[in-house]
Amino acid sequence: MHAKVTATPAALELIAEIVAEHGPVLF
């Protein structure tokens, strides 16, 4: 798995949802 290399639109949407619900998340 290539962390912090590529992000699909679906992944970006998921991250946006998490941030909206729980605030900034550190990966």
Q: Is the pLDDT of residue 16 over 60?
A: yes
Distance CA 2, CA 17 (A): 21
The residue segments making up the domain with residue 7 are: 1-27
Q: How many CA atoms lie within 13 A of 1 on its CB side?
A: 3
Question: Which CA distances in Å does 25 have to 3, 9, 20?
Answer: 15, 18, 10
Question: What is the average pLDDT across 15-26?
Answer: 80
Q: Is the pLDDT of residue 25 over 80?
A: no
What is the percent of the chain where pLDDT is above 70? 59
**Residue 7 pLDDT grade (very low, low, confident, very high; cuts 50, 70, 90):** low
Structural domain total, the chain: 1
Tell me the whole-structure pTM to 2 decimals: 0.47
Q: Is the pLDDT of residue 11 over 70?
A: yes
